Amino acid sequence: MSLLTRTALATALALAATSVQASDDWFFRVGATNVNPDSDNGTLAGTLRTTVDSNTQIGLTIGRHLDDHWAIELLAATPFKHTASLNGAEAVDLKHLPPTLSLQYYFGAADAAFRPFVGAGLNHTIAFDIEERGPVAGTRVDLDNSWGLATQAGVLFRTGNWDVVADVRWIDIELDATLNGADIGTVKVDPLVFSVMVGTRF
């Protein structure tokens, strides 16, 4: 993990643990989350243009408001399922989990019915259940896990104890790939992640 990502994680955890103005206002949200990879996911083995399709799963977040404007949030989801194609031929099926810890800033009054917000934090993508087919059938493809920065922008609509939240994130996800143990490059997923969720505070 780079010094930058270690620093971002340490800062977020320290804020959550040491804030003396915490309001004990926790929130939980659940809804639909779509991972939409960049249209160009790099080149493997020098000549294999790589693309990764999009997928929608159940997303959920749990977080805590540190004061009227600052909050910390953890994004989780059911496993996303993608197919990676090489030069247009479907080649690798995989699943991944992308837990993302973010520090958020909410604009406006704490009890406002409409609040835009922004966030930034750290993502850890875990790739698993990799299945080879098509042009790489009969080989072994491995994808390393990824650490990267994440940014976020969204809006919150509040009614009583319920919230409706829509947001978009950009996440730096780069999965180093090997074929039969030999390094063949990096799959640059770098998706936009769209979520619409309903939540409550407690």
Segment 62-102, tens digit of pLDDT: 999 999 999 999 999 999 999 999 999 999 999 999 999 99
Do 153 and 120 form a contact (C-beta atoms < 8 A)?
Answer: no
- Amino acid 161: pLDDT: 85
Model's pTM, two decimal places? Answer: 0.86
What are the phi and psi torsion angles at 135 (to 5°)? Answer: -70, -15
pLDDT higher than threshold 70 for residue 19: no
Residue 22 has pLDDT above 70, yes or no: no
Give me 21's structure tokens: 């103005």
| Percent of the chain residues topping a pLDDT of 70 | 88
- Write down all domains in the chain, each with its CATH number in brackets: 3-201 (2.40.160.20)
How many Cα neighbours within 13 Å face the side chain of 91?
21
3-state secondary structure of 6: helix
Comparing CA positions, the residue from 51, 53, 37, 138 lying closest to residue 86 is: 51
* Euclidean distance between CA atoms 59 and 80, whole angstroms: 10
